[in-house]
Amino acid sequence: MIELDKIDLKILSVLQQDGRLSNLELAEAINLSPSPTLRRLKRLEQEGVIGRYVALLEPAKIGLGLEAFVRVMLDKRERQFATFAEAVQAWPEVVSCHAMAGEMDYLLRVVFEDLAHFSRFVMDTLLPHPGVVDVKSSFVLQAIKQTTALPLAHLVGGRS
């Protein structure tokens, strides 16, 4: 694993909150001058610790007020795992898809405008897909927490 000292962790922590800080602002936030800050940042990007930067949109502002988790069961006899994985990439309302241990099914997180939209997605897209034998939907009542920030606490003490 890559060596990360306290300064690196501070950089990561700050950028997980605001990925668009200028180098100057970042430098100030972590209490270091701009040049070494930039060098460290580049290294973190280079090493792949920072995978990417993204803008997060406000779902409600673009008419995506609803959200659901959908468990998808595939027929294990048909070998449709790959095509399903591929299809999932192409469905934009699917925000995440995880293969789960145990039941060997898939858990999708889906965002949508309204129930009609969701219904269309399930009826016209998901269920007709080859290998899909069953889906179980659970609607989100409330997002209590939703972050892209990963914990870093377990890394303190790695260096310096």
Which of 32/64 has CB closer to DNA? 32
Task: Return d(Cα 25, Cα 30) in angstroms, integer.
Answer: 9
98 binds, among a second copy, DNA, none (CB under 5 to 8 A by kind): a second copy
Q: Side chain identity at 57, as an amino acid letter? A: L
Tell me the angle at which helices 34-47 and 23-30 cross, rounded to the nearest 10 degrees: 100
Pairing of strands 66-74, 106-112: antiparallel
Which of 25/113 has CB closer to DNA? 25
Binders in 38-97 for DNA, by CB under 7 A: 38-40
For 70, phi then psi, to 5°, come to -125, 125
Which of 36/65 has CB closer to DNA? 36
Other CB atoms closer than 10 Å to residue 10's CB: what's the count? 17
Nearest distance in Å: CB 42, DNA: 7
Max Cα–Cα distance, the chain, nearest Å: 60
Which of 128/153 has CB closer to a second copy? 153
Of the residues 17, 18, 33, 78, which one makes contact with DNA according to CB under 7 A: 33
Contacting positions for a second copy (CB under 8 A): 1-2, 4, 12, 15-20, 47-59, 61-64, 67, 69, 85, 88-89, 92-104, 106-107, 111, 113, 117, 138-155
